[in-house]
Structures are given as C-alpha cells and as structure tokens.
Amino acid sequence: MKHYDAIVIGAGQAGTPLCRKLAKLGLKTALIEKRWVGGTCVNDGCSPTKAMVASAKAAWSARHNETLGVHVGGITVDFDEIIDRKNSIVHMMRGNSEKRILDTAGLDLIYGTARFSGRKEITVSLPDGGTDTFTADKFFLNTGLKPVIPDIEGIHSIPYLTSTTIMELTEIPEHLLILGSGYIALEFGQMFTRFGSKVTIIEPSKRILKREDSDIAEEVTKILAQEDIEIITGTKAAGFSQNGHIINVTLETEGIKSQRTCTHVLVAAGRKPQLGEFGLEVAGIEVDKKGYIKVNAQLETSAEGIYALGDVKGGPAFTHISYDDYRQIIQLVVEKKQIDISDRLVPYCMFIDPQLGRVGITEQEAREKGLDIKVAVLKNDSVARSIETGDERGMMKAIIDAKTGAILGAAVLAEQGGEIVTILQMAMMGGITYDRLLNGVFAHPTYAESLNNLFMTLE
C-alpha cells in the first residue's frame, strides 16, 4: 500500500493548484480524479458556458446593430461551429492543466474514483476495473457538486437535459422548457433564445432570482421578456410524458393543473453533493442536513487532518471561492497561519446580457437585519455611456451604511456589470466611502464615471 504526505481528491478549482503547490513544497502528493482534470469550471461550467454565451451575444449584437444604423443582412447561427469552438476551448484548458500536473515532480496523477476505506485510507476504482489502496497523513477533498433532479412524476421517462448534457446537443431545441430560474436557467435560457429556440422558464417561487432584491429581479424579468422568453412563476412541474419528439408537461399553479408541450426539458433546479458511495462515515467525516461536508472556519472536517474545499463544503458555489479555499489552505497548512473563511467578501456575476454583477449584502438582507442604510439606485437609461452605445437596459444599486458611508453591497445590471461591480468591491476592500466615489474624477464617458451619478442620487 503506497503512502503519501498528502492526497487531494478531485481536480477542481482548489484541488488542481493545491496538489501542484504541495508537491513543489516537497510533499509526496497524489491527485485522484475520476473524470477530467479541471473539474466543473473547465469541463462543464464556467468556461464552456461563457464561450457559448459569447456566441449568443454575437447573434444578439448582429440583430441589434440595426438600431445603431449598421445593417448586416441575414443572420445564421451555426450550432456545430459554436459547439466546436466551445470544445476546443475546453480541450485546450484541460490539456494545459493536465500537462502542468504531469510536469510537476513529486506529484502522481491517478485517474479513478476514490472512496474512504479507513480513517486515513482510500481505495480507488481504476479505469481498468482494478482497485488500488493508498494512505496519507492529510487529505483534501474537492469533489464538487452534481445537478439535483427533482422527484417529479415521469421525469425519468423523458430525455431531460442537465447543464452538462445541454452542451452536448447537436441541434438547437425548438422549444426548451427550463425548471428553475437561477444562474444556470437564466444563462442557458437567454443563450438558447438567441440561438433561435422558444424558451419557457418554470419557477416554483413567486419570483425569479429570489436571493436578489425584487427591483433587480423585476428588471431582469423585463429584459428577458423583451427577448420573448416566457417566465412562469409560482408554478411547479408536476408530471412529464413523451409523445414522439413532443414532451407533455403538467404544470401546477396554486393547486390548479394545466398542460403544456415542449421539445426539450433542462433541469436547472440547483446542485448538491452526492457523496453516497464516498465512505465518509468510515473516515469519521460528518455532513450537514443538506448533505454538504461540515467544515470549521479553517476548512477542516470533523476528521482531524482531512479538509474540504470548494463547493462540496456548502456556501457560495463559485470558482473564485474554491480557488480562494486553496489559497487559505496553503496559509494554514504550509505557512502555519490562522485562517478564517467566515467573513470573506463574496462577489459573483451572472452572465446573462446585460451581466448582473454582485457583491456584499442586498437591500432585502440589510432590512431583515435592521441595519441603518441608505440605498442609491440609478437606471441605465440616464447613464451617458449606455445611451451612446445603444444599450440602456439595466440599473445600478448600492447599499450604504447611513452612519459611516461605507459601501455594504452593490448590484450592477449592465453591459460589463461584473467588471463595474469590481470597482465597488475594491472600494469596500480599501474602506473607501461612497462620498469619495461621488466626487472621484473618472474618465468620461465610461460606465465607471456613472458611479458619480449613482451616489449623487443620495444627495
């Protein structure tokens, strides 16, 4: 049985840099991966979706250019080319990452599925059907999440799609019905509308994007409706059946059933860890009520010397959070510094168009906590840059501590909203109060300059 100083399970956004760093520091390290290096982000998440979102944006711009006086003739969307481009980006990223791992001395990359067979021992099912067993002083779990498939009558009798399989389609769906209205639903919903599908979104809650402020959700709804995306809220799917290439859907709204049809169904109802076969109990690793691995503020599980990083530990499921877990673990385990992940600022960006960039607290969270706040809101139709570029959709919003002037949170629904909100995040990181941005000199006419106008609304 081979012994390592460290074993990393899962080549995700934390595990991949971590195994290389540990090996470079002289620790005999193994990385166990059951599928592909790069995990969700590279293979089925951020990179492939954003590559396809870029194609969808190009299709939209080509049609929208008419409003700028530029006529480009008939537009065709070549789905094969879009998928080929997406695949070549994924293969390049995955290949580069795998090469960096293979080139690292003192690091073994072992393809196979790991499960705990002892407190500090794993057994790996290898692709050739055999198994191998390894022990280590320390384990780092970066095994990620999988799509939740809700228990709906008939769902397993239809060829439903997930965020992974929808990117393997060879034809653009005629009518795509999407369960859920979170990031995955809205990014794919708008993308396929722009490729030419009819899209219907079914959301059980009263409104879409329930974690965001209602004015932001309303603005997103308005933008999606302008592209003829049908959004049905307060409604759940209660049953599915298939008739040739047509899928029959039973919907239920306040107890009243109705029938719809579509050609494809995308399940985008959230993601969760599915660790049934992982042998966590053998290693003494506890999970919470939702099945996430429990960790303390130092990322350590209930089993000493076993750490969990990235999505599998619960909390915000983003690439940059998983990557930061890697940075934190290096500080803790290698640099022997104290870490605390509980007060981390969490930015994110939903890549609909215009983008929704977010950081910090929402207005609804601040009000629920009884905080003394001021709220600055600016619609983009009064932003010079938006008017000039012909895209006045969206709005900006910031939550301010009424006493100190500190920025507590922001939402920017705008072209490059993810970049603009990062300016506000840097102000938050540097303790720059809103009045300094109100009076800051920014180049004209940029979106950044409109932060002057956003905070002027508080005067």
Ligand X SMILES: Cc1cc2nc3c(=O)[nH]c(=O)nc-3n(C[C@H](O)[C@H](O)[C@H](O)COP(=O)(O)OP(=O)(O)OC[C@H]3O[C@@H](n4cnc5c(N)ncnc54)[C@H](O)[C@@H]3O)c2cc1C
Ligand Y SMILES: NC(=O)c1ccc[n+]([C@@H]2O[C@H](COP(=O)([O-])OP(=O)(O)OC[C@H]3O[C@@H](n4cnc5c(N)ncnc54)[C@H](O)[C@@H]3O)[C@@H](O)[C@H]2O)c1
Minimum distance between the CB of residue 320 and ligand Y, rounded to whole angstroms?
9
Among ligand X, ligand Y, none, the one that 9 touches (CB under a kind-dependent 5 to 8 A) is ligand X
Residue 444 annotated to the active site: yes
Rounded CA separation 234/372 (Å)? 32
Residues of span 146-175 touching ligand X by CB under 6 A: 163
Minimum distance between the CB of residue 84 and ligand Y, rounded to whole angstroms?
22
- Residues that contact ligand X, how many (by CB under 6 A): 35
Q: Does 422 bind ligand X (CB under 6 A)?
A: no
Among ligand X, ligand Y, none, the one that 236 touches (CB under a kind-dependent 5 to 8 A) is ligand Y
Among ligand Y, ligand X, none, the one that 391 touches (CB under a kind-dependent 5 to 8 A) is none
Q: Does 49 bind ligand X (CB under 6 A)?
A: yes
* Strand 230-233 to 146-147 pairing: unpaired
Q: Does 197 bind ligand X (CB under 6 A)?
A: no
Binding site for ligand Y (CB under 6 A): 150, 179-185, 187, 202-205, 236-237, 268-271, 317-318, 348-351
Minimum distance between the CB of residue 431 and ligand Y, rounded to whole angstroms?
26
| Closer to ligand X by Cβ: residue 278 or 434 | 278
How open is the CA angle 178-350-427, to the nearest 5 degrees?
160
Q: Does 114 bind ligand X (CB under 6 A)?
A: yes
Minimum distance between the CB of residue 275 and ligand X, rounded to whole angstroms?
8
Question: Per the annotation, does 99 bind a ligand?
Answer: no
Minimum distance between the CB of residue 138 and ligand Y, rounded to whole angstroms?
27
Contact status, residue 17 vs residue 43, Cβ threshold 8 Å: no
Q: Does 184 bind ligand X (CB under 6 A)?
A: yes
Region of 37-45, 57-65, 86-94, 219-227 interacting with ligand X (CB under 6 A): 37-45
Which member of 3, 64, 91, 444 is catalytic? 444
Q: Does 425 bind ligand X (CB under 6 A)?
A: no
Question: Per the annotation, does 182 bind a ligand?
Answer: yes
Question: Per the annotation, does 418 bind a ligand?
Answer: no
Report the residue from 121, 203, 219, 311 that binds ligand X according to the rule CB under 6 A: 311
Among ligand Y, ligand X, none, the one that 268 touches (CB under a kind-dependent 5 to 8 A) is ligand Y
Chain mean position to CA 144: 12
Rounded CA separation 394/402 (Å)? 25
Report the residue from 2, 3, 24, 35 that binds ligand X according to the rule CB under 6 A: 35
Among ligand X, ligand Y, none, the one that 41 touches (CB under a kind-dependent 5 to 8 A) is ligand X
Among ligand Y, ligand X, none, the one that 114 touches (CB under a kind-dependent 5 to 8 A) is ligand X
Contact status, residue 215 vs residue 395, Cβ threshold 8 Å: yes
Rounded CA separation 395/377 (Å)? 7
Minimum distance between the CB of residue 133 and ligand X, rounded to whole angstroms?
14
Question: Per the annotation, does 50 bind a ligand?
Answer: yes
Q: Does 46 bind ligand X (CB under 6 A)?
A: yes
Region of 38-46, 131-139, 238-246, 288-296 interacting with ligand X (CB under 6 A): 38-46
CA 40, 46, 47, 51 dihedral sign is: positive
Q: Show the tokens assigned to 359.
A: 């950081």
Among ligand Y, ligand X, none, the one that 269 touches (CB under a kind-dependent 5 to 8 A) is ligand Y
Classify residue 67 as exposed, middle or buried by CB count within 10 Å of its CB (0-12, 13-18, 19+).
Answer: exposed
Region of 3-11, 96-104, 279-287, 445-453 interacting with ligand X (CB under 6 A): 3-11
Q: Which stretches of the chain bind ligand X, using CB under 6 A?
A: 9-14, 32-35, 39-41, 44-46, 49-50, 113-114, 142-144, 163, 184, 278, 310-312, 317-320, 322, 351
Q: Which residues are catalytic?
A: 444
